[in-house]
A and B are shown apart, each in its own frame.
Chain A
Amino acid sequence: MILRCFSHRFRASAPYHSLAILVMALTASQIENIAHLARLELKQAEVPVYQETLSRIFAFVGELDRAQTASVAPMAHPLPGLSQRLRPDLATEQDRHELYQANAPQVSAALYLVPKVIE
């Protein structure tokens, strides 16, 4: 729900295809929304700092608009023709939860503890 609500706030009436119209200073509330989506708590004093530096970064990456990319396929991976490997459906991992959970902040009866979610 939260994600949908925020994605709605960010959604333009139609998806942007040009960066030129996006290159503008970000507002404080936009920074707060991004931080929320990213699950980062910012101190009040940090907001104007990120407002300035992120605006500068987006103005800079706006240069991408110069490239003619109409007939170019997006590239997600640097090696051509490499496909994801599959492996036989066999159990290969041993149960090592005690070792792994030794790094957890709070564990009880082999369960990770978090604040109560359901009242």
Chain B
Amino acid sequence: MTVHGKTVAQLSEGLRRKEFSSVELTRVFLERIEASQPKLNALISVTAEEALQCAQAADRALASGNATPLTGVPIVHKDIFCTQGVKTTCGSRMLENFVAPYDATVVAKLKGAGTVMLGKANMDEFAMGSSNETSFFGAVRNPWNTDLVPGGSSGGSAAVVAARLAPAATATDTGGSIRQPAALCGVTGVKPTYGRVSRYGMIAFASSLDQGGIIAATAEDAALLLRAMAGFDPNDSTSVERDVPDYLSTLQAPLQGLKIGLLKEFFDKGLDAEVERRIRDALGVYEKLGATLREVSLPNLPLSVPAYYVVAPAECSSNLARFDGVRFGHRCENPRDLMDLYKRSRGEGFGAEVKRRIMTGTYVLSAGYYDAYYLKAQKVRRLIADDFARAFTEVDVVIGPTTPTPAFAIGAKTSDPVTMYLNDIYTIGANLAGVPAMSLPCGFVQGLPVGLQIVAPHFGEARMLNVAHLYQRETDWHARLPEGYA
């Protein structure tokens, strides 16, 4: 087996057994990044020099027996996470030259665990997009077919793992931004419970929905990384004070008696028939493993996309008010006065989709419209969260598709924002309810990966990863690599 084809767990073992050093691994992945960049555009910054220094330190730690399971493992961070001394652009012209003065908690924790950062992944601007086409630094291309999108907003992170430019990459999910690109690129993506992973140093889009997570090749790798990333952080006021379970220790728990909910609303008319067939096949695997299936209904789920497109833009318009051209970020040339400075700096610094969401949010929060839009959406949000809570009194997890179709062509959905928004129809509900959810590969339709989504109750990550891991023990979809990257 090639080195780049190994999982994080296998690399960790190889490093320990001295089959290769962290410096060697780092060089392998840096070379793959360099070779892929003109084709995929998956990274915004590559930090080769720092990575090699960090790998040398990891090799010393490994030699002295002072290592964690992640010591020396190369990873990529989504460019939404602040990295001290390294450019952190959030995919925007606004932050084109922003050098973060501190590390995000996720970055600090993974650094503390000994991982080696290779660079920063491309993404939709300020994480607003489902195709990675809104990045100021150009679209990312899907490694399975470079005419297609990788999904978004963590399209760079998903492409990085799919093409094995790194064995894992951090990502964030506000409405599906980990799971949707993971599905379209054929990798495993985990969005934890809201509050499980610190948002400190993760550039804010919609603070009541944003959650950091991980994209990796397998559920086992995601468990390894999540264990290191998760946990209470006093610097994040919504971080939850709750111990992080050892996700690895429960991965093998048998699924006998597991109650799986099939969401009626997930198997609707919008679902591609071939995608549905792959999902049904996966459910068959679970039945063989001893799980029972039963239909559940979340009657308010069809309203999740409209509710989201009020709540998320409202929070975004407030969060992005900080970009004023004064303290950091883009400033226009020769401002006439303060108002001109604000307006032109923001008008030039933000791209079309970001401006659209800021304006949507400004409108729904404006006087006279607040009750009709924002309050109404918050009430619908509660109905959806209550639907999930009710479903989880009947079943242990909910399983269905991650996306209605496989990856679509670059440019196919850019003219109509609503068409693009509907791509997240199966993922947004979990963000509104704050529950954990993940996507894992479950087959192919015309050579393109299909994602299976597992949704669990609040803080049910251990069970969710267990359910995913046992499927991956029975199948090998997660081990397939796109042509040219094997």
Is there contact, CB below 8 Å, between A73 and B327?
A: no
Of B261-269, B357-365, B405-413, which binds chain A?
B357-365
Contacts of B350 in A (CB 8 A): 40
Q: Which residue of B lies closest to A39 (CB)?
A: B342
Q: Mark B89-115, 1 if CB is under 8 A from A, else 0.
A: 000000001110100000000000000
Residues 74-111 of chain A, each 1 if its beta carbon lies under 8 Å from chain B, else 0: 11111100101101000000001001101111100000
Contact B382–A74 (Cβ < 8 Å): yes
Nearest neighbor of B363 in chain A, beta-carbon distance: A34
Majority SS at the chain A contact face:
loop
What's the tally of chain B residues with a CB closer than 8 Å to chain A? Answer: 81
* A13 vs B343: C-alpha distance when bound (angstroms): 30
Complex: A35 Cα to B432 Cα, angstroms: 27
Which residues A45-64 have CB closer than 8 A to chain B? 46, 49-50, 53-54, 56-58, 60-64
* B445 contacts A by Cβ under 8 Å: no
Q: Given A16-B372, A19-B376, check contact A104 B327 (CB 8 Å).
A: yes
Is B385's CB within 8 Å of the partner chain A?
A: yes
Contact of A56 among B101, B336, B346, B416 (CB under 8 A): B416
Determine the chain A residues whose CB is within 8 A of the CB of B330 once the complex forms: 105
CB distance from A26 to the nearest CB of B (A): 8
A73, B379: Cβ atoms closer than 8 Å: yes
Docked-complex contact A115 and B341, CB < 8 angstroms: yes
Least Cβ–Cβ distance between B368 and chain A, in angstroms = 4
Bound-complex Cα distance A53 to B421 (A): 12
- Report if A1 contacts B (CB, 8 A): no
Contacts of A99 in B (CB 8 A): 101
Encoded as 1 (CB less than 8 Å from any A CB) or 0, chain B from 427 to 457 comes to 0000111100000000000000000000000
Q: A67 to B380, Cβ gap below 8 A?
A: yes
Q: Which of B99, B234, B369 contacts A103 (CB 8 A)?
A: B99
Q: How far is the CA of A84 from the CA of B281 in the complex (A)?
A: 45
**B375 CB-CB contact with A under 8 Å:** yes
Known interface pairs A10-B368, A56-B417, A79-B194; A42-B382 also in contact (CB < 8 Å): no
Q: Which of B310, B335, B376, B418 is close to A115, meaning CB atoms less than 8 Å apart?
A: B335
Question: Which residues of chain A from 1 to 24 have a CB within 8 Å of any chain B CB?
Answer: 6-8, 10-12, 15-19, 22
In the complex, A103→B98 CA distance in Å?
6
A interface residues (Cβ-Cβ under 8 A, vs B): 6-8, 10-12, 15-19, 22, 31, 34-43, 46, 49-50, 53-54, 56-58, 60-67, 69, 72-79, 82, 84-85, 87, 96, 99-100, 102-106, 112, 114-117
> Which 4 pairs show the lowest CB-CB distances between chains A and B?
A78-B434, A41-B347, A74-B378, A105-B331
25 contacts between A and B (CB under 8 A): A7-B366, A16-B368, A31-B359, A37-B366, A38-B317, A38-B359, A40-B350, A40-B359, A41-B347, A42-B347, A50-B355, A54-B363, A56-B416, A58-B360, A58-B363, A64-B310, A65-B376, A69-B380, A69-B383, A72-B379, A79-B240, A87-B234, A114-B326, A115-B341, A117-B338
A96-B101, A104-B327 known; 4 new pairs, CB 8 Å cut-off, are A66-B303, A67-B300, A74-B378, A105-B326
